[in-house]
Every structure is written in structure tokens, then in C-alpha cells.
Structure 1
Amino acid sequence: MASASYTEDLSCPICLTIFADPVILPCGHSFCRECITVSLKSQHQCPQCRATVPTEENNLLTNHILKSLAEKVKENEKLKNEYRHDKEVAEWLCPEHDEKLKLFCITDQQLTCVICRDGEKHEGHRFKPIKEAAAAVTQELTTFLQQVLSDTPTIESTAKTQREEITKTKEKSHQLMTQISSKFEEMHQFLRKREEEIKNELKHKEEDDVEKMSESLNAIETALSENRELEGKVSSVLEITDPEKFLKSWTEDKTVVTAKSSFRPRGNTLKVVNTSLYLGPYESHLQFFMWKEMLQLIKPREERLTVQSNSANVTVVSQLSSGQHYWEVEVGQREYWEVGGQNSFLKFDGQNYYDSHQNKVLAFAGRPQKIGIYLNCESKELSFYDADGMTHIHTMLPGSMPVSAYFKMAINRNPRIVCWY
């Protein structure tokens, strides 16, 4: 609204457009020179207030203030027509002075108008005309673009390498998945086979025992049947109350007489056959013995080393620089020990565990009797476990390769034992 009113104030009352060479009449009203000249030819009055304009006023005075303002408005209108939108026009006008932005402040790196240049805000700053500044910036951007263009192939190469590493990781993961599945399937096959063998062994033992017990039961049931038959016959004879008939029946029935003469009590001689069903260690220590048997399936073999040295420091194996290695050290109840590599080891001082490489206290709170150490030379990782349950304690980077297997512990009467796999 303010902009519209401002434009109206700078419009000629006759042609209703922005003043073109405005002139001022004695009454104070202003008009375009051409518009008022034509109007005064027909009537010697001001078109607005009807005040008489003397005919001798042939030379109309230019209204310089209106002329200057009108020219600025026309310039703004020209910008509006050029960029179509008020917002775009405003971007090319100084927000403080409403002047066209013609300079570039090198110090502040921003467009300014000529009034800004002389203001306090930009005092002591360096300025360039927009075309010169644009040429300088264009040169800088061209140089910068060349740097970007030269850097892009390197980044593309790095991206390609990274993609290749991702592919390698996926391929290696797939290989390891296949390897793990194969190893577990091998163990599953071994366990399933041993399960069937042990079950068959149990079945055979069951069949043998049941056969022996069935034979015993048949003998017992035969003796029971014979006793009950004899009991019936003797009971029948005893039921005869007449003496003559009784004796006659007794003497005539020779089976009872024969049975009586040959009868031998068998109640104490017939014995129950007890089961001998027993699977030995598979009955009480099945998992343990399966683990022992599975050691035949696992290629690494335990090499038990008993160290009797009086020295607290012992290097067991030196120069481990390739492959994967695992060994265990019995630490027992010792109040101080160091196990691992010669330059990177796990330390226990009776209360806390330490990473010697980073010299920091670990959060592990258990009290293992045996420490397992796994060295992967490919990934350069040294891992420690509670060997009894294979609980992970800590993993560290040994730093330099090769690694020497090493331990140090308080000397006591118990020998120090190292198991190498």
C-alpha cells in the first residue's frame, strides 16, 4: 500500500502516469511539461485548483525534486519489468537506501550500493564494480572447479576401492558362513552317528538283559504252575473224610505219591535276574566323553608343557607372525600374573585386570583358573578368555608383529602349565 501511494504521489494528474519532465505552476501543482503545455493552450487555468495561470508565464520551471524521485521510481519500475516479480527487484535494491546494488564489498563479500560504500558500516573496506568482482570470483571458482575436477577421480577411485572392500567382506562372510556350516555339520554328523551307536548299544544291552530275565521268568512261572497244580491235587485228597476212601484215593493216585517223593522246595532256589544294563561313562559323563571323542575330530592337538623354571618371566614360543594360534595358561590362585604376548599382555594384580598395551583397568570381575589366549595374526588381534567356560575377557591389538607367547607369574610350589593347541 505504501508503495502504491508513493507511486500515485509521483503521477501526473493529467496523464495519470509517472511524471515525465515535471514542471511546477505558480499555484504549486506539478504536471508533465507536455501535458500542461497542451492544457494551457485551451484554458489558462490549473487543471487541479482552477487557479489562473498568467499568459506571460511561458517558461515553466522544472520541479527538480519530483524529477529526481520520478526517475528513481521509473528505474524501479524498469527493474520490476525486467525481473517481473517485486521480490526479485528487491533483491537488486539496497534494503537500506533503496538504491541499485552496483558495488561488491570485497571485505564483507556482499553487494552494496554507492551510499553503503560511504557509510560507517563499510568504512575502510575494499570495493569493486560488480562486473570486475564477478570476473574475479569467476576466476576463483574456475580454479576451484579445476581442483574439484582433479580431486573427483581420486574420490571415485577411493569409492571403487571401498565398494570392492564391501564386496570382499560380503564374500568372506559368505565363505565363513559356509565354512562354519560345514564344520558344524561335520560335528552334527559325528554326534548323530555316535548318538545312534550309543542308542544301538543300549538297545542290544536291553535285548540281552530282557532275554535273560524272560528265561528266568519262564522258569519261575513254570515252577509256580507246577506247585499250584500239585496243591490242587493234594487239597482234593485231603477233602476226603472217610478213611478207607482217603487211603484208597491216596494209593491209587500215583502222581501225588510220585510228586511227594520227588518234591523239593524251589522258592529259595529261584532267583530274580537283575538288570546289567550299564553304559559306563556314557551314562553319567556323556557330554564329557563326547567332548573327549570329538577331540579326534578337531585337528589341533593339545601339547601340554610343564614349565619348571625358577624365573618368573617365561617366553614359551617366539616369532608368531602368521596364522591363528591358541594356548592356555593355568594361573590358579596366584595373586599376580601376566599372560599373552611379550609386549601386549593381560595382567592381574590380585584385584584388577589390566590391558598392558593401553595401561587401563578392565571391567572383568571373574577369577579364572585358566586363561585362554587366541592370536589372529591376520587381523592382528589378541583375545583373552576364561578357558573353563570360554567367556570373553578382553581383546587388544598387539601392536607390532611378530608376537612371542609369554607369561609371568608369582612362583609357588605348583608347576606352571601351558597347553598349546
Structure 2
Amino acid sequence: MILRGSSADEVRLQTGTQDLTCSICQTLFTDPVNLLCGHSFCRQCITDVLSVKQQCPHCRTDVSIDVKCLPTSHILRSLAEKAKEAEKKNRDKVEVNVMQVADLCPEHEEKLKLFCVTDQQLVCIICRDGERHEGHKFKPVKEAAASLRQELVHGLKNIGGDILTTESLVNTQKEEITKTKDKAQQLMIQIHRQFEEMHQFLRKREDEIKNELQVKKEDAVEKMSEMLNTMESALSKLRELEVKATSVLEVKDPEVFLKSWTEGNNMVAPEQLFRSRAIELQVVNPSVSMGPYESHLQFFVWKEMLQVIQPRAELLSLKRDSANLTVSGDGRSLFCTHKNKQTQHTSFQFGHHYWEVDVGHRDYWSLGIEDHFLSYDGQKFTTCTSNINTELDLADSPRKIGIYLNCSCLKLSFYNATNMTHIHTMSSGPMAKPVSALFALKYRTPDHNPMTVCWY
């Protein structure tokens, strides 16, 4: 009933204020003025309109008088102010009514005297006895408010410390984001520089090989050109001799014949003039060969580039720690005699490390670091830690395994070193002390296939 009465008052108020509303700003008049045509507007509103066009917005009547000269309509202003006061009272009344309604149960229109602890909501007596709140815990409103207030005070104390902790985490996270961006930028520059070094090497070798080919081509062409000039000179002389001999043979008189032939021949005997010159000539065909660069250019240049890139391959010295193991003379290979055996040597605690192991066709091996390694038993590949073994599904059986250890982020990765395909990456765990590279192999008869290690 209260809402319906309020709505009726609002309708009456709206009806009474329609004539007190400026048609330009659509609000109650503020400092109203009347034009000569009889229409009323707020002084500022009509001033803005007339500054664009000197006509009444309603009837289009020309307005020649300055609005500043128009007197304020005190009657309209008084009525507008009363309407504004009535409007404000009506709004206050509606707010009070809404608050009164809010204190009542929306379902039963009863006062909300209880607080359901289970559902965390205000309820009335009827709600408490209803099926929806059956078995729930209730408290009087004042008691529930006091309890909640106490919880909020306690919560505020805790949240203060939590805010400080979270702020610290936020700052730390921001620092990590900055570090990551900086690290990525450094890596970007490093990658660009290293690729540029390879590009420079390749461009230099390309120019050198092309220049070598150019020199060989020019040398070969020069030799062939010299022989071509010799051939063309001989051919010219032969044709001259052919023409002269043909002409002389047409002379019938013996004296004239002999005189015609011997003239200009410097007394050279015919057998000497008509000797074969072709047998003295031979086509020169020097081979322009670039050796292995013709068929294996990429392979040879790649091998050359291995000598200039960093890091270079280095020898990894293996030590014998069992009578069942034999270390090769160069310190790079291991042979097993009777038992499965693991050997460790070089230790790591900091930095980045990469090494490759040529396992060949061995049917058993384990590679990595102590307590974290990749194992092969002849049928399946398994990653092993101190407490977890995970079987891997590999399409091919690698003959050479690459192991990359990043001590800074505690990651151990395995690769097929033949084509650098990634096999698996595992967390190596915190390194409280230096760890060693691990190699394990199995004896077989005869054992002619050693495990060879190359360090980078």
C-alpha cells in the first residue's frame, strides 16, 4: 500500500511539473524568462539556442531582443522552486518507504528478527519454522551482528598482515617479470649475435669458395683460349695453302707452274708444307673441379664451422672406478667386462653443460646425472629419478644421446643428438652439492662397441 501511494504521488507530481519544465534541458526551470511569443525557457538554455539561430525553438518566431534584457519570470521561478522541494520530499519519502520495506521479509512481510547462521541471511519467525531452514542454526539479530562484528575485527587484523605479504609477493612478481624481460632481451641479443657469427662465417666461406671457383674457371678458360687461337691460326694457314695449291694446279705450262708454286714459299719442300698440323693440336679440357664441395659442400662447410663456433667439442676424461670397466687410451670411451656398472666423473653445481654420448647399438645404458637419468633396456626408454620412473614412447631409437644440464633452473634435458630432436626434460631438483655425470652400460660378449663421450 505504501508503494502504491508513493507511485500515485509521483504521478501527480510529474503532472504538475510538466508546465514548469524547460523544453530545452527537460528539467525544472532555472532562472526562467518569457519571450515575446509567450514561450518560457531557462535563461542560459535560450541564450545558447539564440546564439546559433535567432528564433524561438517552439514557434520559430524571430527573436530580436537580447536575452540579457529579459526580466526573470518570478512566478515561474517560485513555482519551479516549490516543485523542486516537493520532488525532493517525495524522493526522501520513497527512500524511507524502501528502507521500511527492506526491514520486512519479502516472502512473509514479517520483521527480520533472526539471522540464519547456516545460510548467512536475515529471516523472520515464519522462515525459521519453514522447511527451507529446517535443522539450521539461528541467532538473534543483535547477537549475530555482535558475533559478525567481532569476526570482522579479527579478520581485519589478519588481513593487514596478509596485505603486506601479498604486496611483497606482488613486488617480487613484478621484479621477476622485469628479470624475465631483461633475460629474454639478453638472450635475443645473444642469439642474434651467435647467428650473425655463423652468417658471417658462411658468407665469408661462400665468397672464398666462389673466388676459388672463379680463379679456376679463368685459368681453364685462358688455357683453352690459347689453344683455340693456335687452332684457328693453323686452320687459316691450311686454308691459304689449299687455295694456293688449287690455283697453281690450274697452270699448264711447266715453267710457269714451277715459278707460281715456288714464289713466296721460301724454297720449302711440299712434304714439309703439307705435313699434318692437326696431329700437333689437341683439345684442352682442364677440369674445373671443386673436390668435395661439388657433392658434399654443406657437410664440409659444417665441419669447418665446428672449428670456429663456441663452445667447441672437448675431450671428457673418464676415470676407471671398477675392474669391470676399461677406459680407452684417449679417455673418451668405456668398455664393460662382466657386470652392469655406473661411472661418474666431472662434477657440476653451476652454469650450463652439454655433452653427447654415442651409445651405438648397445642394448642397455643409462645416462644423465646421479638420481636423474634416461635408461634403455633394449626395448623401452625410461626416465628415472630417486622415486619415480616414467616410460617414454619414442618413434626411433637414438644412436647418439645429447644431455643438457641447466644448473640455474634445475632442468635436465635429453636429445636425439643425430638430429637434435627433443626427447624429454625433467626437473633435476635442488643441487645442495656438486653432482656428477652418470654413465651406465651392460656387458655383452664380445663387447666391441664402446660408449663414446663428447663434451661441449
TM-score class, shorter-chain normalisation, is 0.7 to 0.9
One-letter code aligned to 1:232: V
Distance in 1 between residues matched to 2:335 and 2:135, nearest whole Å: 86
User: What per-residue deviation string (whole Å, max 9, x for no partner) do you get for residues 148-172 of structure 1?
Assistant: 2221111011011001001000000
1:405 pairs, out of 415, 437, 450, with: 437
> Corresponding residue for 1:159?
170
2:417 pairs, out of 343, 365, 387, with: 387
By how many angstroms is 1:107 displaced? Answer: 5.2
1:175-324 correspondence runs (5 A): 175-240=186-251, 242-244=252-254, 247-248=257-258, 250-255=260-265, 258=268, 260-263=270-273, 264-298=275-309, 299-303=311-315, 305-310=332-337, 311-324=339-352
Against the structure 1 CA distance between its residues 206 and 106, is the aligned structure 2 distance closer, same or farther, given a 3 Å change threshold? Answer: closer
By how many angstroms is 1:120 displaced? Answer: 7.3
Does structure 2 retain, via aligned residues, the 8 Å contact 1:250–1:256? no
Distance in 1 between residues matched to 2:420 and 2:294, nearest whole Å: 26
Does structure 2 retain, via aligned residues, the 8 Å contact 1:374–1:382? yes
| SS of aligned partner of 2:279 | coil
By how many angstroms is 1:354 displaced? Answer: 1.0
Distance in 1 between residues matched to 2:451 and 2:147, nearest whole Å: 78
2:152 pairs, out of 141, 144, 152, with: 141
Does structure 1 retain, via aligned residues, the 8 Å contact 2:415–2:422? yes
By how many angstroms is 1:221 displaced? Answer: 0.9
Does structure 1 retain, via aligned residues, the 8 Å contact 2:368–2:439? yes
> Corresponding residue for 1:30?
none
User: What per-residue deviation string (whole Å, max 9, x for no partner) do you get for residues 16-44 of structure 1?
Assistant: xxxxxxxxxxxxxxxxxxxxxxxxxxxxx
Against the structure 1 CA distance between its residues 93 and 238, is the aligned structure 2 distance closer, same or farther, given a 3 Å change threshold? Answer: same
| SS of aligned partner of 1:405 | strand
> Corresponding residue for 1:356?
384
**Range 111-120 or range 229-238, more displaced:** 111-120
Distance in 1 between residues matched to 2:200 and 2:160, nearest whole Å: 59
Distance in 1 between residues matched to 2:194 and 2:132, nearest whole Å: 78
Against the structure 1 CA distance between its residues 113 and 248, is the aligned structure 2 distance closer, same or farther, given a 3 Å change threshold? Answer: closer
Unaligned runs of 5+ in 1: 6-79
**Range 100-109 or range 341-350, more displaced:** 100-109
User: What per-residue deviation string (whole Å, max 9, x for no partner) do you get for residues 334-377 of structure 1?
Assistant: 22222222321111222221111231211222122211111111
One-letter code aligned to 2:364: Y
> Corresponding residue for 2:185?
174
Share of identical aligned residues, percent? 53
By how many angstroms is 1:280 displaced? Answer: 2.4
Distance in 1 between residues matched to 2:109 and 2:262, nearest whole Å: 155
Does structure 1 retain, via aligned residues, the 8 Å contact 2:117–2:137? yes
1:341 pairs, out of 357, 365, 369, with: 369
Distance in 1 between residues matched to 2:226 and 2:134, nearest whole Å: 123
Structure whose alpha-carbon radius of gyration is higher: 1
| SS of aligned partner of 2:312 | coil
Against the structure 1 CA distance between its residues 340 and 106, is the aligned structure 2 distance closer, same or farther, given a 3 Å change threshold? Answer: closer
User: What per-residue deviation string (whole Å, max 9, x for no partner) do you get for residues 124-169 of structure 1?
Assistant: 8665443443233222222212222221111011011001001000
Does structure 1 retain, via aligned residues, the 8 Å contact 2:362–2:449? no
Task: Say if 2:353 is the partner of 1:325.
Answer: yes
Distance in 2 between residues matched to 1:184 and 1:134, nearest whole Å: 70
Against the structure 1 CA distance between its residues 393 and 128, is the aligned structure 2 distance closer, same or farther, given a 3 Å change threshold? Answer: closer
Against the structure 1 CA distance between its residues 4 and 165, is the aligned structure 2 distance closer, same or farther, given a 3 Å change threshold? Answer: closer
Against the structure 1 CA distance between its residues 391 and 104, is the aligned structure 2 distance closer, same or farther, given a 3 Å change threshold? Answer: closer
> Corresponding residue for 1:38?
none
> Corresponding residue for 2:426?
396
One-letter code aligned to 2:306: L
| SS of aligned partner of 1:308 | strand
How many pairs are equivalent?
345
> Corresponding residue for 1:9?
none
TM-score (norm 2): 0.68
| SS of aligned partner of 2:404 | strand
Against the structure 1 CA distance between its residues 349 and 248, is the aligned structure 2 distance closer, same or farther, given a 3 Å change threshold? Answer: same
Distance in 1 between residues matched to 2:448 and 2:97, nearest whole Å: 97
One-letter code aligned to 1:337: W
| SS of aligned partner of 1:346 | strand
State the superposition RMSD in angstroms.
3.0
Against the structure 1 CA distance between its residues 221 and 259, is the aligned structure 2 distance closer, same or farther, given a 3 Å change threshold? Answer: farther
Does structure 2 retain, via aligned residues, the 8 Å contact 1:105–1:125? yes
Does structure 1 retain, via aligned residues, the 8 Å contact 2:356–2:417? yes
